[in-house]
Each structure stands twice: as structure tokens, then as C-alpha cells.
Amino acid sequence: MEAESHGPADGVDLEPSGRFAGEPSGAFQRLWTPHRIAYIERGGGSGEVECVFCDAPTRSDEDALIVHRGELAYALLNLFPYNAGHLLVAPYRHIPLYDEATPDEVAEIGAITQEAMRVIRATSGCEGFNLGINQGAIAGAGIAAHLHQHVVPRWSSDANFFPIVAETKAIPVLLGDTRRAIADAWPA
């Protein structure tokens, strides 16, 4: 198979994707995720960082993708978003389950979630939200040891929730740009 030219003016020859290592599987071809290197280098899954939700507040807002810090809880962007603007709201305290949160933590998680919805709607024009807390690994919690709530903005033009989880989703906005827009719009 001949190398394909990207374009007549650019002079760049690209290797056809059919020659890449490995076998394509169904709907998945190649998904380049260079943003994941930050998670990998910080010990994601290796035990180097014990809990990403306990570690995040010790770092700068930009580095940890934090958009708001409250007294008992905070909001940060999901490093692996379902949609652009996908936030997580977590208590600072390391607890796994919602029923272990104090009434004050529950109230602040709720208040931050409400404000997150207002800010995301204002900055992105989304038309709806999926809110959810997965309790325990068996229920789909990727990080079951630390309570966190998902705030996922939705638009009529995006796919429904299940294909997003089951297939590949393209997120057209950089996480740093999204964090800055949401953090800048958050009321002081």
C-alpha cells in the first residue's frame, strides 16, 4: 500500500492507518489521548498517588483542574470527560459513600452542584444535565474510595448517555480552556 499524501501543498506523507500496529476492534480504531499522560505520570492506578481527590486540593487550581473551592467540598473538571465541561464535585474529606457525608457536606455538595449547573449553562449554553453518584466499584465508580458527584452538561446535538460510555466521544475543547472559562465565570 502506498503512503497517502495529506495534501498537495503540505508535502507531508502520512502512513495509512491500516498499517498501524495492532488490530482495529469494531467501532474503535485509534483514540489518541495525550491528556492522560498527566494521570499516568502522577501514578494513576500505580499507588504513587493514594487518592486523586485527596491529592487535587494540594495542587494549584490549574494543575488539578479545580474550578471552585468551598469550605467542605470543591469542584474540578473530570480528566476523562463524557462531554465538554464535565465536572466532579467532591468533599475534601476522604469518604466512600454518600451516607457517610455529614449534613453540612451534603448541603455544600448540593450548593456547589447547583452553582456548577448555572455556571456551565452560562458558559456553554447547554440544554440539560446528567447528575450522578456511583457508589462502589460494582456500581461503576472509577474511584470508589472517595465520594464524588458527576455533573455532565448535555446538548440536543450530542449522543445519549449510553453511547458516550460505550463508544468513543470527541471532546472539542481543551481541559485547560474549559477550566479557565468555568472558573472565571464562577461567582466570587
Q: Which of 68, 86, 146, 148 is catalytic?
A: 148
Q: Any catalytic annotation for residue 148? A: yes
- Which triple of cell numbers denotes residue 46? 500505580
Element of type H or E holding 149: strand 149-154
Sign of the C-alpha dihedral, residues 141, 145, 147, 151? negative
Reading across the β-sheet that carries 66-69, which strands appear in turn?
66-69, 73-77, 87-91, 149-154, 128-132
Task: Please tell me the distance from the alpha carbon of residue 67 to that of residue 60, in angstroms, as a whole number.
Answer: 11
What does the DSSP 8-state code read for residue 6?
Answer: S
DSSP for residue 80: S
The CA distance from 45 to 52, in Å, is 10
| 130, β-bridge pairs | 152
Rounded CA-CA distance 4/74 in Å is 48
Which residues are annotated as catalytic?
A: 148
